[in-house]
Amino acid sequence: MPESKGNILLVDDTHANLQILSEMLSQQGYKIRLAISGKFALKSIDFALPDLILLDIQMPEMNGYEVCEKLKANERTRDIPVIFLTALNDTSDKIKGLSLGAVDYIIKPFHVEEVLARVKTHLKVHHLQQQLVAQNKELQATLENLQLTQQELIKSEKLAALGQLIAGVAHEINNPLGAITSSLGIINNFKHQYLAQLPDYLSSLPKKQQQAILELVTRALNKAPRLSTKEERKLKRKLIRQLEKNNIERVEFVADTLVDMGIFNDIEPFLFLLENPNSQQLLDIPSKISDFQRSIETIDNASQRAARIVFALKSFSRFDKGEKSPIDIVESIETVLTLYHNKLKHGVNVIRHYEKSLPPILCYADEINQIWMNLIHNALQAMNYKGTLTIDVSQQDNNAVIKITDSGKGIPPEIKDKIFEPFFTTKPPGEGSGLGLDIVLKIIEKHDGDIVVESQPGKTTFTIILPIE
């Protein structure tokens, strides 16, 4: 049986409406629960929380406004998105519902495409918000765990490496969280400033203008992936020439708006809109809907980025319980690269050559992470954080072979034999303990592996060989 796309509670005192909505949404894969009154709906919600509520306003005993007010006053239910179902088309009724915490309105009689589109959009936004809350909790728990283990790590090289990274990691976490906050602001602004007025505004326009605006929205929502700045500039210049040829006023503004919406060509069907004296107002609605869609995509991408950082922190802060476990070498290296992303992104080109069929190796996972941490840290310092870092992972016989190559100045021949000695360092006082490579060597020996160094100006390679058991 296919997995449900979401659990929806339908609340309406009219059985015919419940039947129509139930059949419509069930066919799309949603799990449906029904309630014929406000009181019955509250009992049903108390028993099991839905993902979304479609709530009729005009009901006896307890109307939809009262139900919504009770839901938003309860900490357990306040975050469940509520969409009002109503025959009321007055702006004041819509404002009242939105002020009580509803996320949207659907006007009776229902239009199938509208109901499905709104349900899908608000379920996705709700799901993304839930993901964000869960990831924030997980991140907080991870950071608290790092703090609790700090005393155990205080004398180890691992804490020193983590201390150097923590500011960069915090910055990397703040970036997606900032993008999410900004995008939620755009979504909330659209919801409060445009959503309530949208039906009235569209219905006030001539039919031809309505169809053109809906076609603009459709093309904006189905636009191709984001182009580079150079590609956008080229297409914008072409668009401006076309607009000027058709004597469109304010060509820079119009071109910018269309490009932001992902519309670069085939603008002939919209020329009559662009020629209209109110073209700026007519373009405003599709532009804002495009911003709304882009904000949802931004939240989705930023959530995934935050999740990768949380996973990297969890993986790196994990401690083995005295037993070996199978790990993916590539995943282990990528964990460290994720933590170093803030130091890599401004001047280091990372080239990866990974053999896809490499089997897991049996090892002490956090110690293996420490190898990559120390070697990548040394490589970046050797290049002064500007250059090329190349990582090769392959299998030779029954061994995993990992090569980490930097384009730095190289290791002088006279000290090459000393670099694995404890406390040997070429760094200024206070910048290195001289234990990094000593720890790497001891971990590799503990795993019955080997490490080889080749160096010349512009190319230093550390080759690690680990048995696949």
370 pLDDT band, cuts 50/70/90, is confident
Structural domain including 66 reads 7-110
Alpha-carbon distances, residue 416 vs 2, 172, 389, 462 (angstroms): 61, 35, 20, 12
Strand spans (E) along 407-446: none
User: What is the per-residue pLDDT across 298-329, written as a single tens digit (0 to 9) for each?
Assistant: 777 667 666 666 665 565 555 555 678 898 99
User: What is the per-residue pLDDT across 98-117, written as a single tens digit (0 to 9) for each?
Assistant: 888 888 888 888 788 888 98
Residue 214, in any domain of the structure: yes
Q: Which two tokens stand for residue 104?
A: 């949207």
Residue 271, in any domain of the structure: yes
pTM of the model: 0.43
**Confidence (pLDDT) at 153:** 41
Let me know whether 139 and 286 are in one domain. Answer: yes
Let me know whether 78 and 172 are in one domain. Answer: no
Let me know whether 18 and 67 are in one domain. Answer: yes
**Confidence (pLDDT) at 81:** 92
Let me know whether 271 and 138 are in one domain. Answer: yes
In sequence order, the 6+-apart residues with CB closer than 8 A to the CB of 291 are 186, 190, 260
Longest dimension (CA), the chain: 91
Let me know whether 199 and 225 are in one domain. Answer: yes
Question: Domain count of the chain?
Answer: 3
Report the relative pairing of strands 7-11 and 31-35 from DSSP bridges. parallel
Let me know whether 280 and 428 are in one domain. Answer: no
Let me know whether 293 and 418 are in one domain. Answer: no
DSSP conformation class of 268: G
Residue 117, in any domain of the structure: no
Residue 307, in any domain of the structure: no
Let me know whether 295 and 329 are in one domain. Answer: no
Let me know whether 106 and 136 are in one domain. Answer: no
Residue 448, in any domain of the structure: yes
User: What is the per-residue pLDDT across 326-364, written as a single tens digit (0 to 9) for each?
Assistant: 989 998 899 888 878 878 888 899 999 999 889 999 988
Residue 123, in any domain of the structure: no
Q: What is the mean pLDDT of the chain?
A: 81
> Taking a C-beta distance cutoff of 8 angstroms, is the pair 371, 464 a contact?
yes
In sequence order, the 6+-apart residues with CB closer than 8 A to the CB of 222 are none
Higher-pLDDT residue of 439, 65: 65
Mean pLDDT along residues 131-157: 66
Report the relative pairing of strands 7-11 and 348-354 from DSSP bridges. unpaired
Residue 253, in any domain of the structure: yes
**Confidence (pLDDT) at 365:** 82
Tell me the one-letter amino acid at 17.
N
Residue 89, in any domain of the structure: yes
CATH classification of the domain holding 67: 3.40.50.2300
User: What is the per-residue pLDDT across 231-270, written as a single tens digit (0 to 9) for each?
Assistant: 778 888 888 888 888 888 888 888 888 888 878 778 888 8
Rounded-to-integer distance, Cα 318 and Cα 275, Å: 63
CATH classification of the domain holding 430: 3.30.565.10
* Residue at a domain's end among 299, 330, 354: 299
Let me know whether 324 and 247 are in one domain. Answer: no
63 pLDDT band, cuts 50/70/90, is very high
* Residue at a domain's end among 110, 144, 160: 110
Let me know whether 377 and 235 are in one domain. Answer: no
* Residue at a domain's end among 64, 80, 110: 110
> Taking a C-beta distance cutoff of 8 angstroms, is the pair 348, 178 a contact?
no
Let me know whether 92 and 144 are in one domain. Answer: no
